[in-house]
Amino acid sequence: MMKYRTIDAERPAGPDRKERGAVRQSVSIAVKVRRPGENWFTSRITNLSLTGFRLQSFAKLSPGKELWVALPGFEGRRAVVLWTQAHEAGCVFDKPLHPAILDHVIKQARHSPVN
């Protein structure tokens, strides 16, 4: 089980953020998100990688909490919130995206008008 601590942004202890395992792509993707036992709501992902994403959301999210995110055209995927700051949250997927899914979602986002 991951352990978390609060620092200036609600961010867990851990490796330097520059040491991420995957490169993040800047995007603007409308997604559906839900917390366990709740209904889906719309949010936006502003960067995406094989292992995680940055989410903009007005919903209260807390480090260590589970959520589900549905990328356009795909079923919901489990993720865990790693940090929050204001209306943003850094999240990690329970299981990394397949590279073909990441490529598809990014290509779709770049060819679609911003919602």
- Full set of structural domains in the chain with CATH: 25-110 (2.40.10.220)
Closest CA to 83 of 1, 28, 7: 7
pLDDT at 7: 36
- Give the pLDDT confidence of 43-93 residue by residue, as tens digits: 999 999 999 999 999 999 999 999 999 999 999 999 999 999 999 999 999
Which segment of 2-6, 17-21, 44-48, 92-96 scores lowest on mean pLDDT?
A: 2-6
Q: Contact 41/34 with Cβ under 8 angstroms?
A: yes
| pLDDT value of residue 5 | 38
Half-sphere exposure of 3 (CA within 13 A, CB side): 1
Q: How far apart are CA 48 and CA 34, in angstroms?
A: 18
Residue, of 47 and 21, whose pLDDT is higher:
47
Mean pLDDT, rounded, for 10-28: 63
Write the DSSP assignment of 23-88 as a string of letters.
PPEEEEEEEEEE-TTS--EEEEEEEE-SSEEEEE-SS---TT-EEEEE-TTS-EEEEEEEEEETTE
Structure confidence at residue 21 (pLDDT): 64
Tell me the β-bridge partners of 45: 29, 55
